[in-house]
Amino acid sequence: MAVGGETYAVTPNGRGIESLSYACAEETCTLTMAVDSGEFTFAFGDGHWELGETTRSGPYLVDARAAGLAVAVVLAWRRAPFVLIVGLAAATTALVRAAG
C-alpha cells in the first residue's frame, strides 16, 4: 500500500530547509527535503538498509526534526501504536540533536 505525497512547510531556519515530503510504498519510504539550493531524497527501508548517497553538504545532513518525522512515518506505515510512534520520534529527534 502506498502512502504519503504530503508536503510540509518548515519555518525559516539556519539550515535553509524549506519543506519536507514523504512517500512509502512496499518496503521503502523516502523523505524529500527541499532546501534553498535544491532537493535531496533519503530512503529508509522497512527492516533493511537502503543504500544511497547525497550531495547535501554536512555536517548535518538531516535536521533533527526530519529524522524524527522519518521515524514517525515508518512506524505509522507499519501501523505501530500511536504512543510508540510519538515516543520513538521524540527520542530520535533528541538523540540527533544531542549528537550534533
**pLDDT tens digit sequence for 5-63:** 788 888 888 878 899 888 888 888 888 888 888 888 888 887 777 777 766 666 555 67
Q: How confident is the model at residue 1 (pLDDT cuts 50, 70, 90)?
A: very low
Radius of gyration of the chain (CA): 13
DSSP codes joined into one string, 22-73: EEEETTEEEEEEEETTEEEEEEEESSSPPP------SS-SS-HHHHHHHHHH
Joined grid coordinates for residue 33: 527535503
pLDDT tens string 81-95: 998 888 888 888 888
- Nearest-10 Cα torsion for 69, 13, 17, 92: -20
* Whole-prediction pTM: 0.54
